[in-house]
């Protein structure tokens, strides 16, 4: 098998010209997928022991570059070198594993195996039959070495996101890899877990491990990285020390425009004269939430936030019919909604954006067009027959309105970048003009500019009379709301009107008085805790699967 380094690259910078101390160098990388050019003569040079951020808008080419740096894809042209040496042949997976590891947002750990089995997957555990007790002991010692407090005998599927990431990092280090890619590692961690991750990242960097960190939260880039590379439209734009690129300049490099981010104009207040579109009374679900009474009026946007175990995700999933509560009532307008049934919730006029687009959101093999128009397919022709042209016209409008980057409406939805797939989920939820819209983390994985357009679409739906319940940990999302409910240990514990301070939200989420929250926590507020999976509130928890 030919090494990818041996592919000639006309016009690309000569490989091997990186300064000494370069751990990773990709140059002149071009990668096409059919009609889409995912990377065009792009590259990255990462100094050994540095923590290097890779940022860019959705579809800019970040994941494609990662797949080339990890040997999962062969570039059409270009070279990759590790420590000045050509990358191994693509088929030599063991050689790649010794050089680089990637902790993906979606786990590469096998849930039905134990932690120990996962750790020793793909490597010799010694000669002769596998000794389970020995395997477990070796795994325990390995986890101890890397300071990971996880039971080696636990089933990997029972780990939460943080534990799973730590096991993946320990596995990478134990295989000899000194270069670790973290692909949006903070997206599903809560604030305290993010702090622990950053502490660990600093320690790894201090011990000489090189890290590539991908995030759509730019403040994290400033907090934990020393260097940043920006990709835009498949091209390399800049690589600089983070101290030399201000926030506005970074956004400009990512978007290609010097326009600042939007301040939301205030919305006319919803009065008690406006009809109540969504009402819950005495809603309760064991181990998740209890006594939830809430009202959302037509045209109102209500945010719901809280820590990973607050019950907020379970509540939203109950409203969408994914979970059946133990008691209580949900009404849309005056009508009670049959509980625990997705079709009943849809029929009652509840649109839903789930937390896990891979599991509950999209049909991977169907096209962008089919996914986006699924709930309104009946509108494209008489008696359920679909007139393809009408469907395509509607899909093209959605692609333009939500700025979905796709080669065509007919492209399979799983060819889209993560953030663009998220836009399809939202477009579909809004396609039915729902009376009530329930969203969980709608801007997760979405870039700064697209975040604005998605929240703009939600606000436009509310302006048209839709009642919105927006469950999120992102202050940017909550700022787009008219009021914010905070959940704590399964109950609504606080309500914040329009003019809240970041620290107030953090305090309420943590269940302490606002004046006890200092400036440091206010900074942490920017990421007050994504949905760390827990037995009570995680979509990833066993009971979270859509029943």
Q: Which residues bind ligand ATP (CB under 6 A)?
A: 33-34, 36, 38, 56, 58-64, 405, 415-420, 447
Tell me how many degrees the CA angle 350-315-542 measures, rounded to the nearest 5. Answer: 110
Of the candidates 85, 66, 79, 109, which has an alpha carbon nearest to the alpha carbon of residue 4?
79
Shortest reach from residue 422's CB to ligand ATP, in Å: 8
Alpha-carbon gap, residue 416 to 419, rounded angstroms: 8
Q: What strands, in cross-sheet order, belong to the sheet with 436-440?
A: 350-353, 436-440, 467-471, 301-306, 483-488, 491-496
Shortest reach from residue 432's CB to ligand ATP, in Å: 25
Residue with tokens 């070495």: 145
Of residues 38 and 426, the one with the C-beta less far from ligand ATP: 38
Of residues 392 and 415, the one with the C-beta less far from ligand ATP: 415
Of residues 64 and 227, the one with the C-beta less far from ligand ATP: 64
Shortest reach from residue 171's CB to ligand ATP, in Å: 23
Of residues 56 and 185, the one with the C-beta less far from ligand ATP: 56
Strand, helix or coil at 209? coil
Q: Are 57 and 81 in contact (CB under 8 A)?
A: no
Shortest reach from residue 212's CB to ligand ATP, in Å: 13
Within 8 A by CB and 6+ apart from 265, the residues are none
Shortest reach from residue 293's CB to ligand ATP, in Å: 38
Of residues 64 and 536, the one with the C-beta less far from ligand ATP: 64
Shortest reach from residue 468's CB to ligand ATP, in Å: 24
Shortest reach from residue 36's CB to ligand ATP, in Å: 5
φ/ψ of 251, rounded to 5, equals: -65, -40
Of residues 373 and 420, the one with the C-beta less far from ligand ATP: 420
Alpha helices in 100-175 (DSSP H): 115-119, 132-145, 161-174
Alpha helices in 283-376 (DSSP H): 312-319, 342-347, 368-373
In the numeric block, which tokens belong to residue 530? 């994504």
Shortest reach from residue 58's CB to ligand ATP, in Å: 3
Shortest reach from residue 181's CB to ligand ATP, in Å: 12
Shortest reach from residue 502's CB to ligand ATP, in Å: 25
Strand, helix or coil at 57? coil
Of residues 35 and 385, the one with the C-beta less far from ligand ATP: 35
Shortest reach from residue 456's CB to ligand ATP, in Å: 18
Of residues 281 and 415, the one with the C-beta less far from ligand ATP: 415
Strand, helix or coil at 471? strand
Cα 176 off chain centre by: 28
Rg (alpha carbons) of the chain, rounded to whole number:
24
Q: Are 323 and 340 in contact (CB under 8 A)?
A: yes
Q: Are 436 and 351 in contact (CB under 8 A)?
A: yes
Within 8 A by CB and 6+ apart from 34, the residues are 407
Of residues 418 and 538, the one with the C-beta less far from ligand ATP: 418
**Can you state the angle between helices 418-431 and 448-463, rounded to 10 degrees?**
0
Of residues 186 and 420, the one with the C-beta less far from ligand ATP: 420
Of residues 19 and 34, the one with the C-beta less far from ligand ATP: 34
Of residues 58 and 318, the one with the C-beta less far from ligand ATP: 58
Strands (E), 411-541: 436-440, 467-471, 483-488, 491-496
Cα 388 off chain centre by: 33
Shortest reach from residue 379's CB to ligand ATP, in Å: 27
Distances (CA, A) of 405 to 60, 146, 415: 10, 40, 10
Alpha-carbon gap, residue 440 to 308, rounded angstroms: 13
Name the maximum alpha-carbon separation found in the chain. 77
């Amino acid at each position: 098998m030919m090494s990818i380094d041996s592919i000639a690259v006309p016009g690309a910078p000569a490989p091997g010209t990186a300064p000494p101390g370069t751990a990773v160098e990709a140059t002149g990388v071009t990668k096409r997928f059919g009609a889409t050019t995912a990377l065009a003569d792009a590259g990255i040079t990462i100094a050994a022991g540095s923590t290097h951020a890779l940022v860019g808008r959705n579809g800019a080419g970040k994941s494609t570059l990662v797949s080339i740096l990890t040997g999962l894809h062969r570039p059409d042209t270009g070279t990759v070198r590790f420590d000045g040496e050509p990358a191994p042949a693509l088929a030599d997976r063991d050689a790649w594993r010794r050089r680089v590891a990637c902790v993906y947002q979606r786990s590469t750990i096998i849930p039905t195996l134990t932690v120990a089995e996962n750790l020793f997957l793909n490597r010799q555990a010694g000669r002769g039959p596998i000794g389970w007790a020995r395997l477990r002991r070796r795994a325990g010692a390995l986890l101890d070495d890397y300071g990971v407090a996880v039971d080696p005998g636990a089933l990997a599927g029972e780990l939460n996101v943080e534990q799973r990431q730590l096991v993946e990092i320990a596995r990478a280090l134990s295989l000899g890899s000194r270069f670790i890619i973290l692909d949006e590692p903070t997206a599903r961690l809560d604030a305290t877990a993010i702090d622990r991750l950053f502490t660990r990242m600093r320690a790894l960097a201090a011990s000489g491990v090189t890290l590539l960190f991908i995030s759509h939260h730019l403040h994290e880039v400033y907090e934990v990285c020393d260097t940043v590379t920006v990709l835009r439209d498949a091209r390399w734009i800049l690589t600089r020390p983070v101290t030399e690129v201000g926030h506005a300049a970074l956004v400009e490099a990512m978007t290609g425009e010097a326009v600042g981010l939007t301040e939301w104009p205030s919305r006319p207040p919803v009065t008690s004269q406006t009809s109540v579109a969504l009402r819950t009374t005495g809603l309760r679900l064991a181990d998740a939430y209890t006594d939830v009474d809430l009202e959302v009026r037509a045209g109102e946007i209500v945010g719901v936030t809280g820590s990973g175990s607050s019950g907020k995700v379970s509540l939203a999933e109950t409203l969408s019919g994914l979970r059946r509560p133990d008691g209580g009532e949900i009404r849309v307008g005056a009508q009670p909604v049959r509980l625990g049934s997705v079709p009943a919730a849809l029929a009652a006029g509840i649109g839903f954006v789930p937390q896990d687009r891979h599991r509950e959101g999209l049909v991977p093999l169907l096209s962008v067009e089919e996914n986006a128009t699924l709930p309104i397919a009946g509108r494209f022709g008489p008696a359920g027959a679909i007139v393809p042209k009408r469907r395509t016209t509607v899909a093209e409008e959605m692609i333009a309105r939500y700025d979905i980057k796709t080669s065509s409406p007919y492209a399979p939805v799983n060819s889209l970048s993560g953030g663009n797939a998220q836009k399809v989920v939202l477009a579909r939820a809004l396609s039915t003009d729902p009376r009530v819209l329930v969203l969980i983390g709608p801007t997760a994985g979405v870039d700064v500019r697209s975040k604005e357009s998605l929240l703009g679409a939600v606000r436009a739906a509310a302006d048209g009379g839709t009642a919105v319940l927006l469950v999120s940990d992102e202050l940017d999302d909550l700022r787009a709301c008219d009021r914010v409910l905070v959940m704590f240990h399964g109950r609504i514990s606080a309500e914040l009107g329009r003019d809240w301070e970041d620290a107030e939200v953090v305090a309420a989420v943590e269940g302490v008085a606002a004046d006890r929250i200092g400036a440091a926590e206010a900074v942490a507020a920017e990421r007050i805790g994504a949905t760390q999976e827990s037995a009570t509130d995680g979509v990833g928890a066993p009971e979270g699967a859509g029943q």
